[in-house]
Homo-oligomer: A and B are copies of this chain.
Amino acid sequence: MSTKKITAGISARHVHVTREHLDILFGEGYQLTVKKDLSQPGQFASNEQVDVVTEKGSFKGVRILGPERKNTQIEVSLSDAMKLGLKAPVRDSGDIKNSPGVKLVGPKGSVDLDEGAIVAMRHIHMTPADAAEFGVSDKEVVQVRCGGERGLIFDNVLIRVNEAFALEMHLDTDEGNAAMCKTGDSVELIKK
């Protein structure tokens, strides 16, 4: 099997928004502005931030990642979810069915969501060529080894294959800290 190195990316809590919700939060026709391009082609951290509010707590200034999506989604770590008093499920991005809602507050308005808060399931983005090289396929579940003084092997890592993806493993902040793994560190795929 390939020993090609995969780069880790640690995702802090963030929000994806629909066009409709962006209109409410920032004003009709508002366009997200690019603060920084992300590793995944076309994706960017915007300059725009919203507050995420629940009955139990809130986070000020949570960054919106662009471009707009077809569902508004809030990705938090498990420790974030606890602070917000949310039973957020561990899900693949986009799978928000029956997840808890939150209130988003922007400069021009607020949105009360019925669903949308998830803890992102750890996953590896790759192209079909990468998948062929590793001998894995879309939605396959693999292990990933992070080395170093706090090294560990993550079970249940989802493979996501798409021509538009760049080879990268995404972890949340709890996972990054538990493994003492930073954005840019190399990790190793282990086929189950």
Contacts and interface: CB of A to CB of B under 8 A. Distances in A.
Interface of A: 77-79, 82, 90, 122, 149-156, 173-175, 177-180
Contact of A178 (B82, B149, B151, B175): B175
Contacts of A175: 178
Most buried by B among A153, A174, A175: A174
Contact of A155 (B78, B79, B151, B174): B151
- Quickly give the copy total for this chain: 2
Contacts of A154: 152
A92 B82 CA distance: 28
Contacts of A77: 177
Nearest to A180: B78
